[in-house]
Structure 1
């Protein structure tokens, strides 16, 4: 296995959406289960398509955002060239522009982002629970305020998503993606913050993150965690 980390591009979005859909599927993830409630057995394929469409729109908006940094993990040992096996998405403010956006005009970026936001907020998939999503956003926003005050997450590197293809998990890919972000944050003298699921907490604890507070999300305890700069 030969893993390398690089900036995500538009061409990576289908793979990123597929990995996010599989790694955070309603069958295993409490948040996804609430956002996409269980349908009849014969409608599960419809729900899975809705999940993919929503993930794709979300990641498209993130890639277009000047306040987000998205990278992918590539396994060069696989037969498929440039195959994405994982991704990391960080909310980062006052960060240098992403190289892949250098040749695109600001108008193009804003158009892409607006189209994605419309897909997310104005025309969500039929099986998507908008009330649950609003509740989730309120919980997360409140945690940002509780942790950092009025500035929210603007002074830290916030790990929004860390996803690894289920077929390639337990190979250290998540750790490599995490270390990439920690290294970049350290170069900017910033702490790192994330909200960990119970399943994800061990990875972050082993890397040196500290649990600051526990936050219930849809009846399951999640953990606000900090990695202190220079630790």
Structure 2
């Protein structure tokens, strides 16, 4: 069994009120997971790419919330993923205000994380996957626009293939999600959650990769990430003709356009 990490040192200079903790299925009680789902659904309510993929999500809030539970529930059981929750103390009470999930990827992963897994957790993981597959079959999300979902999935697949081709990125950390309660934004919380991954990258000698929205690019750049290329699955190009699910044919349209970014630890430059 592995429990939450102890209170961290300040993750961002001048932001000593932010505490970061790692949670797993063992210590993620329903009150906490409900709070994290509330944060995610609120923060992504008006996100362009989520809105395009799930255009009628406001009519089906239970399905939209369950989609985030499917992500989070799986990540809490996956030994390759660290779920990092940010807390601040508000009127003497520790309040969860955001979270990020970082996944170790590559051929060296199984050996590196074997201490984070056990037979019981594997069984829980398999049961969770079976339950969610059955639930998705019986109660599909009515707000899902599958052509757009498939297009965005291809974008993530393309960036992952690009990572595999990069020197020294055979094993790397990937930021799966970063989310902060809108009521607590602009207080250094997102930066603290990003720097957790950067610090792990430096400590373990692992590069990092992520797909950033235009709004999120600033904080990643501040933490040392650099843009490699744009991510755009919703507009046609000479190599990618128009198909259902795309947003428009307007040249230069920035709807849903993001950035593929990487962080390379300083030790790599010394090799």
CA deviations 1:188-225 (Å, max 9, x no partner) are 10111111100000111111111111121334321110
Question: How does 1:67-106 map onto structure 2 within 5 Å?
Answer: 67-78=80-91, 80=93, 82-93=94-105, 94=109, 95-96=112-113, 104-106=120-122
Is residue 230 of structure 1 aligned with residue 266 of structure 2? yes
Determine the C-alpha separation between the residues in 2 that align with 1:14 and 1:118. Answer: 22
Q: Which residue of 2 aligns with 1:36?
A: 54
**Greater RCO between the two (CA within 8 Å, min separation 6)?**
1
Over the residues paired in the alignment, what is the CA RMSD in angstroms?
Answer: 2.7
Q: How many residues align?
A: 221
**Secondary structure in structure 2 of the residue aligned to 1:218:** coil
**For residues 96 and 68 of structure 2, what CA distance do their matches in structure 1 show?**
16
Residue 35 of structure 2 corresponds to residue 15 of structure 1: yes
C-alpha distance in 2, partners of 1:194/1:230?
Answer: 18
Distance 1:2 1:103 in 2: 37
Q: What displacement does 1:159 show?
A: 0.6
Structure 1: how far apart are the matches of 2:92 and 2:234? 41
Provide, for residues 54-96 of structure 1, a one-character-per-residue CA deviation record: whole Å limited to 9, x for no partner. 111121112112222111011233455x421100111213243
- Counterpart-to-counterpart distance in 2, 1:68 and 1:131: 28
Q: TM-score by structure 2 length?
A: 0.72
Task: Report SS of the residue matched to 2:206.
Answer: coil
TM-score relative to the length of structure 1: 0.84
2:184 alignment partner in structure 1: 168
Structure 1 residues 103 and 120: alpha-carbon distance in aligned structure 2, compared to 1, 3 A threshold: same
User: In the aligned structure 2, how far is the partner of 1:158 from the partner of 1:221?
Assistant: 19
Give unpaired runs (5+ residues) of structure 2: 1-15, 236-255
Q: 1:97 to 1:50 in 2, by over 3 A?
A: same
Indicate the structure with greater helix content. 1
Q: Quote the Cα distance in structure 2 between the aligned partners of 1:149 and 1:211.
A: 16
When Rg is computed on C-alpha atoms for both structures, the one with the higher figure is 2
Per-residue deviation, residues 151-180 of structure 1 (Å, max 9, x unmatched): 9x7611101111000111110011111111
Mapped to 1, the partners of 2:216 and 2:194 lie a distance apart of: 12
Structure 1 unmatched ranges of 5 or more: none
